[in-house]
Structure 1
Amino acid sequence: MTQPGQTYAWCFSHGGMHHFTGQPWCTAVWVPFTATNEPDALAAKQHAYGDARFLHELPVRQQLEVIEIRETWT
């Protein structure tokens, strides 16, 4: 189970999953998931964004969505 202040997020700048405990430390472009563990977060990422690892691998519409999602966490 995810502890309070714990977030799994796919980073489209670093091309991998981040696991934040407390305040997110990455200032790049990432998308958080409500998953309680990394396998579930990876499954959610795959469902939402397919095999894209980096932002430029997404269609422009999804790139803008990812940027908007990230801005809500600043």
Structure 2
Amino acid sequence: MNITRYAWCFSHGVFHTFPEGDTPWCTATWIAFTATTRIDALAAKHAAYGDAQFLHDLPADKQIEVIGIAEARTGQL
């Protein structure tokens, strides 16, 4: 069974999909969501970050949160 990781990219303003187990091809600022469908991932994204499409659309505290998650994922802390 192929499992897809859904991730909202705040740099590109779109969802990216990455096959589970593969190295994600996007190195920008994205947040992955635990969801089995794109619709569920969009609902999770909306619940956490509202209608923000890009990083600058978020309030400062959410921008810091997103950057921190992305940096932790890439080991840039």
TM-score in terms of structure 1 length: 0.90
CA RMSD of aligned residues (A): 1.4
In structure 1, the gaps of 5 or more residues are: none
The equivalent of 2:5 in structure 1 is: 7
Please say if 1:67 is aligned against 2:67.
yes
Q: Match of 1:72, SS?
A: helix
Q: Larger C-alpha radius of gyration, 1 or 2?
A: 2
Mapping of residues 1-74 of structure 1, within 5 Å: 3=3, 6-21=4-19, 22-74=22-74
How many pairs does the alignment contain?
72
Which amino acid in 2 is paired with 1:17?
Answer: F
TM-score in terms of structure 2 length: 0.87
1:13-69: per-residue Cα shift (whole Å, max 9, x none)?
000100011211101100010111111000000111111000000000000000011
Q: Match of 1:31, SS?
A: strand
In structure 2, the gaps of 5 or more residues are: none
State the shift of 1:71 in Å. 1.2
Q: Could you list the runs of 4 or more consecutive aligned residues of structure 1 that deviate by over 4 angstroms after TM superposition?
A: none
Which amino acid in 1 is paired with 2:29?
Answer: V
